[in-house]
Amino acid sequence: MKRNIAIVLAFLLGASRLIAAESPGPTMGVVPNEVATGAQKPELPKFDLDFPGGTPGQLVQAISKASGHSLNAIIPKESAEVMLPPLKLRHVDAAQLFGALSAASHKAVHIRSTNGGYSDQDSSYGFRCEGKPDQDSVWHFHNTRLSEPPPANWIRFYQLNPYLETYSIESITTAIETGWKMLGIATPPKLSFHKDTGLLIAVGEPDGLRVIDDMLQNLPFKKPDSTPKTPGANPQ
């Protein structure tokens, strides 16, 4: 009986050792090769680019052709017609190009707020990607560019009666318009002469109005006689 028990125990012990040898267990200090080294993603290719300017989609096509690798890019419909400037670059990759493009487009736009004040808001556009860029990155076009608001018009009133004793209104306005033309002011102020009061009314941008100020300051006119007259005195 004892012999039979010893045989069974020996059998069970041998079987357990066999199972342990065949079953892979955790191995300390051993890391699979792809985990240890990390997946090596392809680097961004370098290329030369001579882009004449155009839309974001046209820039993506130009980069893909120059680099020999298709660029993954998403361009929102509302930004598809944004016009990008000409680019002429040598030995760059997409990340360098897009970083420079975004920096070059950045500016502060003077925006008038609802309360009548003004504030500067950042304006820029370009391509971005999530994480560290590589050859397979997906770039998306962002556009926060703001339109420059039209310059605020000012209004000025100029009393011309002292000048009209020597000059005609046509001569005065012609001199003003000549100054605007020589300065190259594309949108000169509008002029209107109110005959009953002798006022020249001007509405426009400050640069154009300053021309009127300077012209009238340098235009001589006949000053009215301020000498008090004595009643009954005979004129000399």
Distance CA 118, CA 196 (A): 38
Task: Give the pLDDT of residue 206.
Answer: 87
Residue 185 included in any domain: yes
Q: Residue 211 belongs to a domain with what CATH number?
A: 3.30.1370
Specify whether 170 is located in the same domain as 137. no
Token duo for residue 106: 């950045």
Q: How many domains does the chain have?
A: 2
120 touches 108 (CB < 8 A): yes
Residue 25 lies in a domain: no
pTM of the model: 0.46
* Sequence-separated (6 or more) residues with CB below 8 Å from residue 162: 221, 222, 223, 224
**65 within domain boundaries:** yes
Which domain, by its residues, includes 176?
A: 154-217
CB–CB of 74/140 below 8 Å?
yes
The single-letter DSSP state of residue 132 is S
> Are residue 158 and residue 138 in the same domain, yes or no?
no
* Sequential pLDDT tens for the chain (236 residues): 555 555 544 555 555 554 444 545 544 444 444 444 455 677 889 999 999 999 999 999 999 999 999 999 999 999 999 999 999 999 999 999 999 999 998 887 666 555 555 666 778 899 999 889 998 999 999 988 655 555 678 899 999 999 998 999 999 999 999 999 999 988 899 999 999 999 999 999 888 999 999 999 999 876 655 555 555 555 54
pLDDT of residue 29: 43
At 220 the pLDDT is: 87
How many other C-beta atoms are found inside a 10 Å radius of the C-beta of residue 128?
A: 14
Q: Give yes or no: residues 114 and 55 share one domain.
A: yes
Whole-number pLDDT of residue 47: 96
| Pair (66, 136) in one structural domain | yes
> Quick one: pLDDT at residue 35?
45
Domain assignment of residue 21, yes or no: no
Q: Strands of 138-143's sheet, edge to edge?
A: 72-74, 138-143, 125-129
If you count them, how many residues does the chain have? 236
Specify the pLDDT at position 221.
Answer: 76
Examine the domain organization and report whether 60 and 119 are in the same domain: yes
The torsion defined by the Cα of 46, 51, 57 and 63, in degrees rounded to 10, comes to -10
